[in-house]
Structures are given as C-alpha cells and as structure tokens.
Structure 1
Amino acid sequence: MKSRSETLKDAIEEMIAVGKFAPGQHLDETELAASFGVSRTPIRETLIQLASMGLVVIRPRRGAVVAELGPQQLVERFEVMSELESICARLAARRMTPAEQDALRAAHAACKEAMTSQDPDDYYVKNEAFHEAIYTGSHNQFLIEQARSLYRRLRPYRRLQLRVRDRVSNSYAEHDEMVQAILDGDGELAARLTREHVMIQGQRFADLMASLPQLQAAAA
C-alpha cells in the first residue's frame, strides 16, 4: 500500500504530466493542501521530492513552480533520452525472455487499439507501458532507473507531442519496426530505430514548440 507521501507525489506528478499544472506555474502550498485535504507539511515534503526529480523548482521566498524547459534544454534532454532508450532496445534485443517478448507484443497491441480509437491521451498511457516493456527487457537496473527518471521529467512534453497531427499513427508505425527488430534479436537496428523514434529534431521539434501554448491553455 502506498504511503500518503507517495500518493501525493504521484497525484501532483500526474497533474504536471497532463498539463493541469503548466510549466512555469506557481504551486501554492495552501491551495494544494486544501485540495488534497492535508496540512501544508506533507505538501511541502512532496514538492521537495518533486524538485529532486527535476519536475519542480523551489525558489527562495517565491515558493515552488513547475519546472520550465527552454528550447535548448528540451533538445538536450530528448537527445539523452533517445540514447538511453536506444541502449535499452539494444540490450532488450539480446536479453528479453519469451515472457517479456509476449509482454512487449501485448503492449504494442494495446497501442494499436488506442491509435484506432484516435484518443491521443489513451495512446500516451499505452505508449508509456510500451516503452517500459523495453526498459524491463534490458535487464540493467541502473539503466532502467535512469531512463525512468528522465522519462518522468519529459512526460508533459512527450504527451504533448502526441497531439501533433499524425504523430500517433507515425509513432505506432515506428513502434512496429522497433518491435520486429527486438524480436529478431537485431540489437543495432533496434537501437537505431528507437533513437530516431525518441529524438526530436527538424519538423518534429518545430511542431512541439508550436504546441507548447497548449500546456499553458490546459492549466488556465
């Protein structure tokens, strides 16, 4: 069973991920305490935890705000994310057990259902499970922890990407190639395809930057 602290952290982290709390938005301890029916102390402790994860910035005398990434910071983080996930895919192609391969197929099938229903938010949830299946298949716990940590920091932006026109269908098509490479045991191909899938550059970056106001609007 989760502790109260873990429940609060998960809830506020999810609100940041879906854009309810937008990048740069002030997080008022009193309002959060009233919203969750707790005192300010556990809220303050939760914000400190989120700050250690890079999701929140705590400023002296100004309190906590949702971390805000500029264009260069976004590129740098997605660049590292693409490398971490490519390593996961390379190792997964070599190390996945039959049961883990079945889990990857199931996660891929769930993404297809979400794509068919044309629900980008549902696809995002299934997409997260898909990537998690690849992390697990790497059988490298330190790598898994690093990939999960950075994934959490980028959740609002990864989610937003899926709202860009045709991104969901393109994402699924890229998944399809990744899955085949992993199941074929072709680590180098799996790594290259995964790197290209995660990295944002060119038009994808331009589309993401143009969509950022949606995060602000979602919190309004």
Structure 2
Amino acid sequence: MSVLPVRFPLEPPAGAGRRGRVTRAEELRIQLADEITRGTLPPGTALDETALAARFGVSRTPVREALRELTASGLVDARPHRGAVVARPSVERLQNMFDVMAELEALCAGLSALNMTPPERRQLEQLHADMSDFMRQGEFTAYREANEQFHNSIYAGSHNEYLIEITIGTRRRLSPFRRAQFRALGRLALSHTEHDQVVTAILRGDRDGAAAAMRSHIAIVHDAYEQYAQTI
C-alpha cells in the first residue's frame, strides 16, 4: 500500500485549546485511528514503528505511545517480539465497552441534572444551540468537535471528580469508534435529537430522565458505528 507522508499538525481533538498543546502522540493516535476505522489500514496491516516515525516525521517515542493507546482501544494487536498489527475488537468486547460507557455517562447526566450550577446549565444550553447550527449547515468537523465539548460539560456538571476521571478514561478508549459513527448517513441530525432529550431532562432537573436519555444515546452511538463499519 502506498501511503503519502504526513506532517503535523493534524486535526486536534476537541477541547485541545483548554488542555494546552496537543501532543504528537495524541495527533498520531487520532490519525491512525481514523485510517483504521475508515478501512485505509485494514486488519492485519503491519505497523512498524520506524516506518511510521519516518512517515509522520517524528521520533519513535510518540509512535510507541500512540500504538499503546490504540492497543487499549482494541484497534491494534501488539505482540511481543512480533511487532504491532491492525486489529479489530471483537463484537463482544466492543459491546462490553459501550455498555460500560453508557452506564458511566448515564450516571454523569443524572448527577448533572441535580448538581449543575445555573452558569453551567446556560453553557450547556448554548452549546446545544450552537450544535444545532452546525447540524443544519452540515458542518461535520465543527459538530464533532462540539460534541466532545458537549459530553465533557456533562461530565463536569456531575461535580464528581472520580466519576469524571474514569468516564474520560473509558471515553478515550472508545473515541475512535465514537468519531467514526458520525460517518453513518444522517447521523448528525439523529445525534442532535438525542442530545435534545438529554439537555431537556438536565435543565428540568430530572435525574432519571437524563440518565435514561443518555444511556439510550450511547447505545445508539454504538449501533451507528456498527452500521458504518459494515460499509467499509
């Protein structure tokens, strides 16, 4: 396979400006994850650290870190003394990952319905309105970036630091699949409708309603990814 050299910076993940400069390992992880989920790098493709470092114009250190992250997501199989190859997580493993994600995000949404401050609620409402504009205009990248901010604001609104920590950690493992699901036909409009149910429940202070709406949303995200994966 002939692959053109890539030079950084690549597209930064949403919220990068708030966290500081995105590392090269993070940029590389996103680029490789997108290529794997698009089918550009099919299962079984060897991922040689030296070749990747040359392609992206980086040292082997960020390459090694990016491959570790992708291994945790199930997109890479790192075998001792045999190198890394592109993999695809089993249906069962991916289902288990999304099941856990759904419960964590449902808990965050439920607590946000109770604990969000008035400024946080206004910020969530405004972000949701901005995403409506992105959806109508077909601004795919802007919507995807705002989507991460949307979920992060709900994590923060729970005001439970430990929950935020483990939710972000789990989301990081699932991020390649969550990004890919937006390629499914009509996904932006459906995603916004699902978000609307979550936001309405949170602003109403409805803990159970917010949790149920978020749990359903994450389940649909999983279904959308599977729908997209069948097309590649």
Give TM class, smaller chain.
0.7 to 0.9
Counterpart of 2:97 in structure 1 is: 77
* Distance change >3 Å, CA 200–CA 79, structure 1 → 2: farther
Q: Which amino acid aligns with 1:20?
A: E
Q: How big is each residue's C-alpha offset from its partner over 1:10-41, in whole Å with a ceiling of 9 and x where there is no partner? A: 11222144x12447443221122113433334
Residue 7 in 1 paired to residue 27 in 2? no
Counterpart of 2:226 in structure 1 is: 209
* Distance change >3 Å, CA 213–CA 9, structure 1 → 2: farther
Counterpart of 1:196 in structure 2 is: 216
Give the number of equivalent residue pairs: 209
Residue 129 in 1 paired to residue 154 in 2? no
Q: How big is each residue's C-alpha offset from its partner over 1:26-71, in whole Å with a ceiling of 9 and x where there is no partner? A: 3221122113433334533453455457664321233223552222
Residue 78 of structure 1 contacts residue 200 of structure 1 at CA under 8 Å; is this kept in 2?
no
Residue 95 of structure 1 contacts residue 137 of structure 1 at CA under 8 Å; is this kept in 2?
yes
Counterpart of 1:63 in structure 2 is: 83
Gap runs ≥5 in structure 1: none
Whole-angstrom distance in 1 between the partners of 2:75 and 2:146: 22
- 1:93 shift after superposition: 0.7
Please give the TM-score of this superposition, normalised by the length of structure 1: 0.81
* Distance change >3 Å, CA 66–CA 178, structure 1 → 2: same
Moved over 6 A (4+): none
- 1:74 shift after superposition: 1.8
Residue 81 of structure 1 contacts residue 199 of structure 1 at CA under 8 Å; is this kept in 2?
no
Counterpart of 1:102 in structure 2 is: 122
Counterpart of 1:179 in structure 2 is: 199
* Distance change >3 Å, CA 134–CA 67, structure 1 → 2: farther
User: Helix, strand or coil: the match of 1:165?
Assistant: coil
1:151 to 171, 187, 192: 171
Residue 43 in 1 paired to residue 59 in 2? no
Whole-angstrom distance in 1 between the partners of 2:145 and 2:65: 27
* Distance change >3 Å, CA 42–CA 80, structure 1 → 2: closer
Residue 178 of structure 2 contacts residue 225 of structure 2 at CA under 8 Å; is this kept in 1?
no
Gap runs ≥5 in structure 2: 1-18
Residue 120 in 1 paired to residue 140 in 2? yes
Root mean square deviation of aligned Cα: 2.7
* Distance change >3 Å, CA 195–CA 33, structure 1 → 2: same
Whole-angstrom distance in 1 between the partners of 2:166 and 2:110: 16
Bigger RCO (CA 8 Å, 6+ sep): 1
Whole-angstrom distance in 1 between the partners of 2:156 and 2:110: 12
Whole-angstrom distance in 1 between the partners of 2:58 and 2:150: 35
Counterpart of 2:184 in structure 1 is: 164
